[in-house]
Copies of this chain bind each other. A is one copy, B any other.
Amino acid sequence: MSDSSAGHDDAQELPAAALAAFREAVGEAHVVIDAGTRRRYETATFATSARVPAIVRPGSVAEVQQCLQVANAHGVPVYPVSTGLNTGYGSAVPARSGCVVLELRRLDRILDYDPGLGCVTIEPGVTQEQLFRFLQERDAPFWLDVTGAYPGHSLIGNIAERGFGHTTYSDHYAHLGAMEVVLPQGELVGTGFGQYRDAKATGYYRWGLGPHFDGLFTQSNLGIIVKATLWLMPRPAYTQFFAARVDRDEDLPLLIEALKPLRLDGTITSAMHIGNDYKVISAIQGYPWEAAGGETPLPRDVLAAKSKEWDCGPWNASGALYGTRAEVALARRKLKAALKGKVSRLQFLDERLLGLAKRFARPYSWLTGLNLNEMLKMVEPVFGMTRGVPSAGMLPSNYWRKPGPLPAVSPDLSPEADRCGVFWIAPVAPTSGAHAAAVWAIVRDTMLHRGFEPAVSITLLTERTLDCVVNISYDRDVPGEDERAMACHDALLERLCAEGYYPYRLGIQSSGKMPPREAGWERLMAGLRRELDPNGILAPGRYLD
């Protein structure tokens, strides 16, 4: 790999014949080779070294196929991204140097929508915001599930990484009807019942007939998803948001154990999130440089003061209950009983109460204490996400360690361009208080020791597993921080894996640093790569070599 500080050298330029062929495939306007743009696609929220010789933007599935044919014919690897907003995991930067970025944002059509059964068929350029508006315009009785990242990120891109959100349909890959995929050599394949062009159940019944294999094209470089049918959550009659907290760090296991049976038996169907104090504070404000006297990591007393100011505990759970009012009332009673004596506070919020809180901040507010308006700024997008409303509200939190006040909320913020430092690492464990405590101890000790705030949210991701989403934030403009943060990332990843807590997805910063997998698994994957991509032109190094 080339040195990260080096400029663009000739060796990273596309051979003229390949460049001409890509232009032929997608049109000259959609092949970008200017240095500034290339640099942008080489920039993540951490140090990277991959060079991008060109960005190619096909406008149709046929053009995607042609691009792969060009790649094979000219031996030029391509790195597909949908909208490329994979912040904290590498953004649009290829896993290896020399890859042409194949950006799919021009494929942005909503191809089909079934208002009876809540299925929508989309292309990879379709964003959270776009589908949200589409459903709003139709007053659809269905919600999409959104993530807290960019409103403008690709839904298919997130499925491909098996991301998750906040509602009953939070596990995005689990709520998928069918895909169409372009294989590395350019062939188009439908998954599930897509094997038959005229099958009525394609997109409705996922497994199809014969081997079920759509997952081969998630977290992999075995194909490019160019179309997907997503399942949408039926809009419930009523939603009640809830928030609970414990006052002592050591009560985390208690909280997890209390919530576990409710998540397992379906009383709580939303992917509950349990954020720690660092996480909550960094979602509301920038680093309190003054109070901290310029020190990092955040001094304990400043953390305590900020927790008090923002009225958060060491662990703060939130989620939503869905159903008719009567159904939600029953679930609420169960939740209260389960948490009784275990949490220091349990609060509920619905749309009506939120409206009241906004109008009469003081006397009628459900939250007590200071800074209510500021807190509502955070609560409102989180509550919105439990109802499928995308929000840019979390974007400023990428600027935690940057000097000065946080930027205003805007979907156009670019933490990459603004030299924010952000890593995500997200280890998975069976849902249990003991596992949660073990993961948290590793994260806390490793990060504090290395000078970073252990901002964490623990998600009760499925009925049986939790995912501890760890955020390493820093300022790339501070000399040496890129290296220190990467060293912290590497140490944390190594310790988590050594204890058996492997991540559910990988950023490009993590791929090459994972422990070796079982030999049979490695050989099977190598065989599939060899069979499907004999020239190794599709995203080499992305999950698989």
Contacts and interface: CB of A to CB of B under 8 A. Distances in A.
A66 B463 CA distance: 38
Interface in A107-138: 114, 116-119
Contact of A117 (B210, B326, B430): B430
Nearest to A218: B212
A500 B195 CA distance: 12
Contact of A218 (B193, B211, B261): B211
Given A201-B502, A205-B504, A215-B212, A523 B187 contact: yes
Nearest to A175: B463
A190 interface: yes
Contacts of A461: 205
Nearest to A177: B464
Interface in A337-374: none
Interface stretch (A300-308, A402-410, A524-532): A524-532
Contact of A219 (B188, B209, B530): B209
Interface stretch (A49-57, A74-82, A513-521): A513-521
B464 A189 contact: no
B531 A183 contact: no
A196 B215 CA distance: 18
Contact of A119 (B114, B190, B464): B464
Contacts of A189: 518, 520-521, 524
Given A211-B219, A213-B213, A430 B531 contact: no
Nearest to A186: B520
A231 B266 CA distance: 14
A390 interface: no
A521 B211 contact: no
Nearest to A326: B330
A531 B527 contact: yes
Interface in A83-123: 114, 116-119
Given A220-B211, A503-B209, A532-B527, A430 B195 contact: no
Contacts of A234: 261, 264-266
DSSP class of A's interface residues: helix, strand, loop or mixed? loop
Contacts of A310: none
A465 B504 contact: no
Counting every copy of the chain, the complex holds 2
Interface string A492-510: 0000010111111110000
Contact of A543 (B204, B211, B515): B211
A428 to B, nearest CB: 4
Given A219-B212, A220-B211, A236-B265, A520 B188 contact: yes
Nearest to A209: B502
B503 A200 contact: no
| Chain A interface size range | 35 or more
A170 interface: no
A173 B207 contact: yes
A538 to B, nearest CB: 13
A504 B209 contact: yes
A198 interface: yes
A219 to B, nearest CB: 5
A518 B240 CA distance: 46
A220 B269 CA distance: 33
A210 B525 contact: yes
Nearest to A499: B200
Interface string A259-287: 01100111001000000000000000000
Contact of A500 (B168, B199, B218, B265): B199
A431 interface: yes
A429 interface: yes
Point out which of A201, A265, A429, A501 has the most chain B C-beta atoms below 10 A from its C-beta.
Answer: A201
Interface string A204-239: 111101111111111110100000000100101000
A450 interface: no
B212 A216 contact: yes
Given A117-B430, A212-B219, A264-B117, A187 B520 contact: yes
13 contacts: A117-B463, A118-B464, A162-B212, A168-B266, A187-B523, A196-B500, A204-B462, A205-B428, A209-B503, A209-B506, A213-B215, A236-B265, A266-B266
Which 9 pairs show the lowest CB-CB distances between chains A and B?
Answer: A212-B215, A200-B500, A211-B220, A189-B520, A205-B465, A195-B517, A195-B521, A531-B531, A204-B430
